Amino acid sequence: MIQAIVFLPLLAALVAGLGQRVIGNVPSKIITTGALFTSCALSWPIFLSFVMGTGEAGVTPVLHWVSSGALQFNWELRVDTLTAVMLVVITTVSALVHLYSWGYMEEDPDQPRFFAYLSLFTFAMLMLVTANNLVQMFFGWEGVGLASYLLIGFWYKKPSANAAAIKAFVVNRVGDLGFMLGIFGTFLVFGTVSIPEILAAAPGMAGSSITFMGMRLDTMTILCLLLFIGAMGKSAQLGLHTWLPDAMEGPTPVSALIHAATMVTAGVFMVCRLSPMFETAPIALGVVTFVGAATCLFAATVGTTQWDIKRVIAYSTCSQLGYMFFAAGVGAYGAAMFHLFTHAFFKALLFLGAGSVIHAMHHEQDMRYYGGLRKHIPLTFWAMMMGTLAITGVGIAGVAGFAGFHSKDGILEAAFAAGGGGVVAFWVGIFAALLTSFYSWRLVFLTFYGKPRWEESEHIQHAVHGEHEDPSEEHSADDHAHAHHHHDAHGDGTAGYHPHESPVSMLIPLVVLSIGAVFAGFVFAHPFIYPEEGLAFWKGSIAFDEHLMHAAHEVPTWVKWTPFAVMAIGLFLAWNSYIRNTSLPARFVAQFKLLHQFLYNKWYFDELYNILFVKPAFAIGRFFWKRGDEGTIDRFGPDGAAALVQGGTRLAVRLQSGYVYGYAFVMLLGLVGLASWAMVNFL
């Protein structure tokens, strides 16, 4: 069964990708979507068996892979509780994204290529989560990196899409360098890349030291920090986060698949999979906590100022990943995985809902040109409402709540119960929850409430009059591939324009994900984070701290109610600013102009990196290009040889005049020279 789950997407990707011109659009979509729904249908029974306590962990061999001295390992598919959770997350979201893309990419001429890339990405992610050794994990790790590059730059005629794809690829290579060094170091220390063997031996290495960069340092701390650098890149943590917002240049289904539910969670998965290693390195866990909390705060502050609907949700993703990491940092790995699980449903819902809004608004993504859409696209509105209620953590402690209420509150309670740095992370998470509520409801109010502001958008006016831009142009908006041209029936601007609800293939995934956003937290909270059930559920697949989770459920009442309070405050602030008193945001920006500019420009990380890394890299490259390649190698190498040959040719041409008296004169010179040589030597 596990072989079918993993390899069906690969088979579908090969058929659709290699045979696209032969089989056409519809068969390609049927094959890839059918394969993903089959994998999804096979994954849920495995997950539910672990939930009910009947599942058994196991390893399925595929083939013998590498045998080189001490480095020997097989290609094996590992299935345990952690894998089962990731299987349902990956296959469910991917299957729904495939179905959603039927409508969203309907008019794109390269549909088989798009669906092949989606399936290839899914296969790589499944390889990552079923890995039984670090090399196989790295194979999947790099596979999702490649697939994300292809999907982000899918519209390769757009310079902005190409730039975003390259940026994602390069930034992830920085993180992957740390991950590779971590794998090399782990093999050096443990003599194996087998994950079960490494985790079994990890406690025995606690307190040992290793020479690293000329210094004697704690072995497990160094290994865990190097591995965590890889997680920072893949999961867009502060410092290596800059690629994630730009990745919104890809089609919206790509955003939902890669940057909400799967690829960006690979880092969280890796830390939880190797949690017994991290438990032996308290300093490394402290770094994980700090980076997660800092990322949570950073992304939430930036999200409050963005106008692009997809960028707001992208920064929200970055912030929620911060929650997951600081949960892992305090030792609450079950809570981190629970938030990963629920986040997959409501964040994919928000991204796909945003895609439905963009579809309705002729690909306009600026929320300033929305307004009053709830009456025109009611199903999309209610789906976005479910996602917003979930991400803001609406619920009543001890009673019921949406998905994010159970998982995010579980993280905050565990952080408070952990004490020390966990308390700092708790307060950072509380403030981020306030900001999350504000920017999430701000998105809802700007998009679905108030007066329509469509007539102010030049982009929508172009679409209304049939003047849609070329998607290959740099200035064009994001999702042009499925453009619909609506003409003004009355000749007065927007009189003939009405936002339209998305097709059924796009609405069905919204309905399914809405169910997950409402019930996923309530249904699965006990096996994920409750002490007794959680200890049985995880069955050694992660380091589940039963005592910490007991303490988390016994925190003071005010700790349990604080997330709800800040959610309500954020809701009130958004309502007061964008419904009741719409002039307030402009006055706030005028009063705190520098703060707003700082947040709107994303803390100037891109500008800083441009000065520190990009410009010097280009300068060094230009130097080696002009002075090295052209000025030295080419000058004295191929160009020099060519110049020598050319000069010799010119001389030879001059000697070959074609006149007999010229040749006779040369012969005479030769005879004179020969006679002179003979006279000097023999007389």
Q: What is the DSSP string of 539-555?
A: TTSS---HHHHHHHHTS
In angstroms, the CA 679 to CA 261 distance is: 95
pTM listed for this prediction:
0.88
For residue 209, what pLDDT is reported?
87
For residue 198, what pLDDT is reported?
94
Which residues face 215 on adjacent strands? Answer: 212
Burial 72-102 (b: 16+ CB within 10 A, else e): ebbbbbbbbbbbbbbbbbbbbbbbbbbbbbb
Is residue 492 pLDDT above 90, yes or no? no
With a CB cutoff of 8 Å and minimum separation 6, the contacts of 459 are 362, 363, 364, 369, 469, 477
- Determine the average pLDDT of the residues in 613-640: 85
For the stretch 395-406, pLDDT in tens is 887 678 899 999
Burial 618-629 (b: 16+ CB within 10 A, else e): eeeeeeeeeeee
For residue 193, what pLDDT is reported?
93
Is residue 628 pLDDT above 90, yes or no? no
For residue 488, what pLDDT is reported?
37
Is residue 31 pLDDT above 60, yes or no? yes
- Determine the average pLDDT of the residues in 519-538: 90
For residue 68, what pLDDT is reported?
86
How far apart, in Å, are the Cα atoms of 662 and each of 91, 593, 650, 659, 673?
86, 86, 17, 5, 17
In angstroms, the CA 346 to CA 437 distance is: 14
In angstroms, the CA 455 to CA 446 distance is: 15
Is residue 661 pLDDT above 80, yes or no? no
- Determine the average pLDDT of the residues in 180-205: 93
DSSP 308: B
- The closest alpha carbon to 510, from 362, 394, 387, belongs to 387
Q: What is the band of 679 on the pLDDT scale with cuts at 50, 70, 90?
A: confident
354, two tokens: 């945003």
- The closest alpha carbon to 458, from 363, 524, 336, belongs to 363
Q: Which long-range contacts (CB under 8 A, 24 or more apart) does 590-598 make?
A: 596/305
For the stretch 545-573, pLDDT in tens is 899 999 999 999 999 999 999 999 999 99
- Determine the average pLDDT of the residues in 365-382: 91
3-class SS of residue 74? strand
- Number of helices (H), then strands (E), belonging to the chain: the values are 31, 6
Is residue 598 pLDDT above 50, yes or no? yes
Is residue 197 pLDDT above 60, yes or no? yes
- Determine the average pLDDT of the residues in 509-524: 92
CA within 13 Å, CB half, 170: 12
For residue 485, what pLDDT is reported?
36
In this structure, the chain runs to a length of 683
- The rounded percent of the chain whose pLDDT value lies above 70 is 93
For the stretch 67-112, pLDDT in tens is 888 888 889 999 999 999 999 999 999 999 999 999 888 888 888 9
Is residue 653 pLDDT above 90, yes or no? no
Q: Which long-range contacts (CB under 8 A, 24 or more apart) does 534-540 make?
A: 534/334, 536/53, 537/50, 537/51, 537/53, 537/81, 538/81, 538/82, 538/334, 539/50, 539/57, 539/80, 539/81, 540/57, 540/80
- The closest alpha carbon to 317, from 332, 296, 290, belongs to 296
Is residue 683 pLDDT above 70, yes or no? no
Is residue 495 pLDDT above 50, yes or no? no
For the stretch 455-489, pLDDT in tens is 766 665 555 554 443 433 433 334 444 433 333 33
Average pLDDT over the chain reads: 88
Q: Exposed/middle/buried for 142, CB within 10 Å: 0-12, 13-18, 19+?
A: middle
CB neighbourhood size of 287 (10 A): 20
- Determine the average pLDDT of the residues in 145-155: 91
For residue 271, what pLDDT is reported?
95
Burial 495-520 (b: 16+ CB within 10 A, else e): eebebebbeebbbebbebbbebbbeb
Which residues face 401 on adjacent strands? Answer: 395
Q: In angstroms, how far is CA 23 from the centroid of its own chain?
A: 31
For residue 377, what pLDDT is reported?
92
